[in-house]
Structure 1
Amino acid sequence: MIAEIGHYALVLALALAILQSVLPIWGARVRDAALMGLASPLAFGQLALIAVSFAALTHAYVTSDFSLVNVVENSHSAKPLIYKISGVWGNHEGSLLLWVLILALFSALVAGFGRNLPERLKADVLGVQATISVAFLLFVLITSNPFARLDQPPLEGQDLNPLLQDPGLAIHPPLLYVGYVGFSMAFSFAVAALIEGKVDAAWARWVRPWTLTAWLFLTLGIAMGSYWAYYELGWGGFWFWDPVENASLMPWLSGTALLHSAVVMEKREALKVWTVLLALLTFALSLLGTFIVRSGVLTSVHAFAVDPARGVAILIILVVFVGGSLALYALRAPSLKQGGVFAPVSREGALVLNNLFLTAACAAVFVGTLYPLALEAVTGEKISVGPPFFNNTFGPLMLPVMLVMPFAPLLAWKRGDATRALNGLLGAIVVAVVATALVAGFVRGGPTLAPLGVGLALFAIVGAFAEIAERAKLFRASPAESVRRARGLPSSAWGGALAHAGMGVTLLGVVAATAWESESVTALKQGQTVQIAGYDISYDGMIQRQGPNFRSTVAKLTVRKDGTVATRLEPSRRLYTARQMDLTESSIATFGLSQLYASVGEARGDGAAALRITYKPLVTLIWFGSIFMALGGCLSLADRRLRVGAPRKSARALPAAHPAPAE
């Protein structure tokens, strides 16, 4: 009965979504306040109904209701509770239900926190958002019903894919979905503005918080997915240029460009046409990622292998929304008035350069990801585009971004002074040059250009705070005055500095971990030892353990440094009995910012254990950098200037003797 309630709640949510997609937009056209006012209640009702449906599916998983096809195919009664819950979105049908839930949540947030938005714009935004909900609710109900029943329920389920039975996968998909779906708000604001034919600085300020929220969660989702692949797959890598990984990277790159473009539009009312286009394309790339993952056009460790017919349905959704929005854009763009002119050397100029290279990098990833799929679809020929292509195209395109990033905040709007900006970065330049020389002189091995990578990373980290130092008059005023000025800076200034520094921290981790890692692939018998990066790792034997729904063979390793036991590692291989699937579980020891990584291969007949042991210097900086970027996004969101909607005018006029200061 609970499953039927969940199913009918989805049907009712579809009905409300249809009403929300029609009535408010029509009300805005005929200026009917009552019809426009229906948008918010309909958004709240849609969220409540989809939440009921999601709760019903979660209940079915937690109670192991094997009368549902979805639960049978993705759960098992012996599975730990956390994986029963995460199993709700660890499959095609459940993850789509989570998708529409987040979509409805964003609509409700606009309805609740957008009280200061112009009435017509709010009605249009919620109406456009509802059309996306209609499309995906129809897709769920017609092709991917999570509440389909079995006539004869089995006694036991088939279990969740063992790769997904991990805490990281309980967190990673929801974070990614908030990022993917969050960009739908930028899309809805862009389409609503095109419908109204009005795109201005106020629009840019309204769209920035939603874009920033989506970017923040997508950053965390990508980082979590990277760390999951690093420790769970047993390969020891953090990025493989897998098509599904690229599917999340592309909207992140485009969304980053959108954030910077919206800043220019808000401050100078320039780049209107470009900003609106980025808002449309960023969500289009999110939909493209959904198509890649669910269409069955590729095989990946984290793609949903489903009926290609579902992929056709998603492709239709993609074509309708992207094609329709671009057609509207082509119709309206010529009428959008551009803002003020700016010199090439200015903050606007630096942000435009940033946009060009970010979008070029996104285009390179797009081509490398889709070209093999398109070629196979047209000619049947299969080719592989791997890391060499992406490393040789993406890396050089991101290099100018890292170089320009510290300069932009030090340049004035409209016309900047390059010499002054360069002077403000002298400290960062000195740190970068000294670090490059020290690494080149004292660190042995690694690629020739690796020291330059370290220098660039430190330049980005130190340079990120150059604007803070400039505005706080560091070393030019008393320490107390500098602290007072720094504390008075808006949180967005600190947020931008922290996010930019996070990029440098991640780059430093990538360079160090890839350039100077040490690896040993060996077979050890009990009592034998292998040395790597100054550590002695001895093999102490193999033991068996029984898990809740798996059997585990564990290799026991002792790690010594200078004769003293530093830690113990226990890499293992698990056999999940329900699916008879064998899985490698790595073991990781962290020493400062570096890690020692061990994985074990299949058992050998001579009693030796096949081991892969890797020392990865500064590898944790890759994910610490992502956390810093996300914290920077949080600080920027906390800025009072990013409140949703226009500020209300004060009811009490200021005295004539104390006029309001100009901003």
Structure 2
Amino acid sequence: MIVELGHFALWLGLALSVVQATVPLIGSRMGSARLMRVGEPAAISVLALIAISLWALIYAYVASDFSVINVIENSHSAKPLIYKISGTWGNHEGSMLLWIFILVLFGAFVALFGKNLPQTLRANVLAVQGMIGVAFMIFVVASSNPFLRAAIPPIEGQDLNPLLQDIGLAIHPPLLYLGYVGFSICFSFAVAALIDGKIDAAWARWVRPWTLTAWIFLTGGIAMGSYWAYYELGWGGFWFWDPVENASFLPWLSGTALLHSALVMEKRSALKVWTVLLALITFSLSLLGTFLVRSGVLTSVHSFATDPTRGIFILCILMIFIGGSFALYAFRAGSLTTGGLFQPISREGALVLNNLFLSTAAATVLIGTLYPLALETITGEKISVGPPFFNMTFGPLMLPLMVMVPFGTQLAWKRGDLWAATQRLTGAMLIALAAILTTLIFVDRTALLAALCIGLGTFVIVGSAVDLAQRAGVGKQKASVAWARFKGLPRSAFGTALAHAGLGVTLLGITGVTAFETEVTTALKINETTQVGEYTLTLRAVQPHQGPNYVEDRVIFDVSKNGAGKGGIMSAKRVYPARQMPTTEAGIRTFGVNQLYVSAGDPTQDGGVVVRAWYKPLVLLIWFGSIVMMIGGTLSLLDRRLRVGAPTRVKAKKSAEATA
């Protein structure tokens, strides 16, 4: 009965989404305030209905209702509760329902918290959001229904893919979708403004919080997915330039460019045409990622579906929304004004250069991802574009961008002084030079490129601190005055500094683990040892263990350094009987920001075990930097000046005070 309730709620949500997609839009064209207001209760009601639908599917998983085909194919009664819940979105049908839930969630947030938006703009935004919802709800009910019943329910399910039975995969998809799908609001704002024919600095202020929210979640989703692949797949890498990884990275790159472009538009009323185009491109790349994951054109551990029929359905959705939005953009672009002018050496100029590098980097990743697919379609030839291509093309674009980051914050709006900015950053440059020399002298005298990257990461981090110090007047004011000014800085200033510093921290982590990693592959017997970097591994025991829905052989090691014990570490070879699928559970021991990583392989004929081990210096900085970026974005979001409608409330408050 609960499953049928969820199915009915999904259909009812579809019907109400049709109302949301049409009535407010008609009202905005007719100038009818009553019709435009229909979008708000419709969006909130659709959220309630889809929430009921998602809850019903989660209930079916938790209750192990094997009369539902989706539960049969992706669950098992012995599976731990957390993985029963996460199994809801660990498959194509359930993940699409989560996708739709997040889509309507953002639409409802506009309805609830966008009261200070112009009524016409709000109505158009909700209508466009409703159109996207209608398209994907039709897709789900027509080809990806998660509520289908089995004619003869089995006693037991087939279990979830063992690789997905991990806490990281319980968190990663919701975070990623909050970013992916969150950019739909930016898309809806852009299309709504194009329909209305009015795009100004106020529009940029309204769209920035939504962009920032989606960017924060997408950053977290990508970082969580990277860390999951690092420790769960047993390969020891944090990024492989897998096409599905790239599909999530593309909207992050364009979304980052959109954040900076919207800032220029808000402050200087410039880059209007470009900012709107970026809003369209960012969600278009999110839709492209959805297509790649679910169409069957890619084979990846990250992909959900292999049904080409579903791929064609999603491709039609892409053509409608991407094609329609770009056609509307082409129709309106000629009527959009260019906005304020500025000198090349200025903060606007730095942000434009930032957009140029980010857009070029996104184009490079897009070409590398889609070229093999296009070539196979046209000629039938299969090729692979792997890490060497991306490292040789993406890296050189990012390094100059990192150099620019500290300079951009030191330049004034409209007209800046590059020499003065350089003088203010002299201290940061000297500290970066010290980091370079320290790396060359004490770590590796031949690692010049790695040392330069270490120095660059240090420069970005210290440059972010210099920006805050300059704003507070450190060195120009008394310590007490500077401290008072520092505490009084807006949250967005701290948020910007932290986001930029997080980028530098991540660069340090990538450089450290890429340049200075130590790897050993050997076969060990009980009590035999091997040296990995600064640490000695001693194989102590191989023990069988029975889990709730798996069996495993645990390979236990002792870790020591210079004869001193440093604890133990355990890797395992695990088998899930329901799926008859083996997995490798990596053993990880953390020392500060460094890690010792051990992956046990197959047993040898002489009673040993194949062991692959790495010592990974600074590796945790990769994900710590992502967390710092998320904290920075959150601080900026909490700044009242960046929240939707804040200018209106301030103005209203001042008017009330003047009247009193």
Q: Same fold (TM over 0.5)?
A: yes
In the alignment, structure 1 residue 379 sits paired with structure 2 residue 379: yes
Which SS does the other structure have where 2:94 is aligned? Answer: helix
Q: How many residues align?
A: 658
**Contact 1:446-1:516 within 8 A present in 2 as well:** no
* Aligned counterparts, 1:147-162, within 5 A: 147-162=147-162
**1:446 Cα shift?**
6.5
**Counterparts of 2:486 and 2:47, CA distance in 1:** 42
**Contact 1:47-1:101 within 8 A present in 2 as well:** yes
Partner of 1:140: 140
Which SS does the other structure have where 2:522 is aligned? Answer: strand
Partner of 2:492: 492
Q: Which moved more, 1:412-421 or 1:436-445?
A: 436-445
**Counterparts of 2:460 and 2:644, CA distance in 1:** 31
**1:475 Cα shift?**
2.1
Equivalent AA in structure 1 for residue 350 of structure 2: A
Equivalent AA in structure 1 for residue 52 of structure 2: V
* Aligned counterparts, 1:22-101, within 5 A: 22-101=22-101
**Normalised by the size of structure 1, how large is the TM-score?**
0.98
Partner of 1:661: none
CA deviation digits over 1:570-611, x for unaligned, max 9?
100100000110000001000011000001001222111110
Equivalent AA in structure 2 for residue 207 of structure 1: V
Partner of 2:572: 572
**Counterparts of 1:171 and 1:343, CA distance in 2:** 45
Structure 2 vs 1, CA of residues 257 and 653 (structure 1 numbering), >3 Å: closer, same or farther? closer
**1:657 Cα shift?**
14
**Contact 2:440-2:447 within 8 A present in 1 as well:** no
Show structure 1 runs of 5+ residues with no match: 659-663
**Contact 1:445-1:516 within 8 A present in 2 as well:** no
**Contact 2:297-2:306 within 8 A present in 1 as well:** no
**1:279 Cα shift?**
0.1
Partner of 1:528: 528
Which SS does the other structure have where 1:406 is aligned? Answer: helix
CA deviation digits over 1:301-344, x for unaligned, max 9?
11113211100000000110000000000000110011111000
Which SS does the other structure have where 1:647 is aligned? Answer: helix
Equivalent AA in structure 1 for residue 367 of structure 2: V
Partner of 2:538: 538
Which SS does the other structure have where 1:544 is aligned? Answer: strand
**Counterparts of 1:656 and 1:99, CA distance in 2:** 47
Structure 2 vs 1, CA of residues 60 and 427 (structure 1 numbering), >3 Å: closer, same or farther? same
Partner of 2:234: 234
* Aligned counterparts, 1:252-651, within 5 A: 252-444=252-444, 447-645=447-645, 646-648=647-649, 649-650=651-652
**1:447 Cα shift?**
4.0
**1:534 Cα shift?**
2.0
Which SS does the other structure have where 1:570 is aligned? Answer: strand
**Counterparts of 1:44 and 1:481, CA distance in 2:** 48
**Contact 2:24-2:37 within 8 A present in 1 as well:** yes
**Counterparts of 1:306 and 1:177, CA distance in 2:** 20
Show structure 2 runs of 5+ residues with no match: none
**1:652 Cα shift?**
6.0
**Counterparts of 2:421 and 2:444, CA distance in 1:** 35
CA deviation digits over 1:496-527, x for unaligned, max 9?
00000000000000000110011110101111
Partner of 2:220: 220
**Counterparts of 2:203 and 2:96, CA distance in 1:** 30
In the alignment, structure 1 residue 116 sits paired with structure 2 residue 116: yes
Structure 2 vs 1, CA of residues 274 and 137 (structure 1 numbering), >3 Å: closer, same or farther? same
**Contact 2:183-2:210 within 8 A present in 1 as well:** yes
Which SS does the other structure have where 1:239 is aligned? Answer: coil
**1:280 Cα shift?**
0.0
**1:423 Cα shift?**
1.2
Equivalent AA in structure 2 for residue 541 of structure 1: A
Structure 2 vs 1, CA of residues 614 and 650 (structure 1 numbering), >3 Å: closer, same or farther? same
**Counterparts of 1:563 and 1:517, CA distance in 2:** 22
**1:427 Cα shift?**
1.1
**Contact 2:183-2:214 within 8 A present in 1 as well:** yes
**Counterparts of 2:658 and 2:301, CA distance in 1:** 67
Which SS does the other structure have where 2:541 is aligned? Answer: strand
**Contact 1:248-1:289 within 8 A present in 2 as well:** yes
Which SS does the other structure have where 1:514 is aligned? Answer: helix
**Counterparts of 1:194 and 1:55, CA distance in 2:** 36
**1:370 Cα shift?**
0.4
**Counterparts of 2:514 and 2:350, CA distance in 1:** 30
**Counterparts of 1:381 and 1:657, CA distance in 2:** 75
**Contact 1:268-1:339 within 8 A present in 2 as well:** yes
**1:471 Cα shift?**
1.1
Structure 2 vs 1, CA of residues 633 and 655 (structure 1 numbering), >3 Å: closer, same or farther? closer
Q: Which moved more, 1:533-542 or 1:179-188?
A: 533-542
**Counterparts of 1:193 and 1:653, CA distance in 2:** 28
**Counterparts of 1:467 and 1:652, CA distance in 2:** 32
**Normalised by the size of structure 2, how large is the TM-score?**
0.98
**1:465 Cα shift?**
2.1
Q: Percent identity?
A: 63
Partner of 1:8: 8
**Contact 1:410-1:466 within 8 A present in 2 as well:** no
**1:654 Cα shift?**
7.7
Equivalent AA in structure 2 for residue 570 of structure 1: M
**Counterparts of 1:199 and 1:584, CA distance in 2:** 53
Equivalent AA in structure 2 for residue 136 of structure 1: F
Equivalent AA in structure 2 for residue 83 of structure 1: Y
Structure 2 vs 1, CA of residues 651 and 581 (structure 1 numbering), >3 Å: closer, same or farther? closer
Q: Which moved more, 1:394-403 or 1:440-449?
A: 440-449
**Contact 2:68-2:150 within 8 A present in 1 as well:** yes
**Counterparts of 1:430 and 1:237, CA distance in 2:** 33
**1:380 Cα shift?**
1.1
Structure 2 vs 1, CA of residues 128 and 541 (structure 1 numbering), >3 Å: closer, same or farther? same
CA deviation digits over 1:184-224, x for unaligned, max 9?
00000000000010000000000000000000000000000
**Counterparts of 2:204 and 2:263, CA distance in 1:** 7
**1:494 Cα shift?**
0.5
Which SS does the other structure have where 2:448 is aligned? Answer: coil
Which SS does the other structure have where 2:65 is aligned? Answer: coil
Partner of 1:210: 210
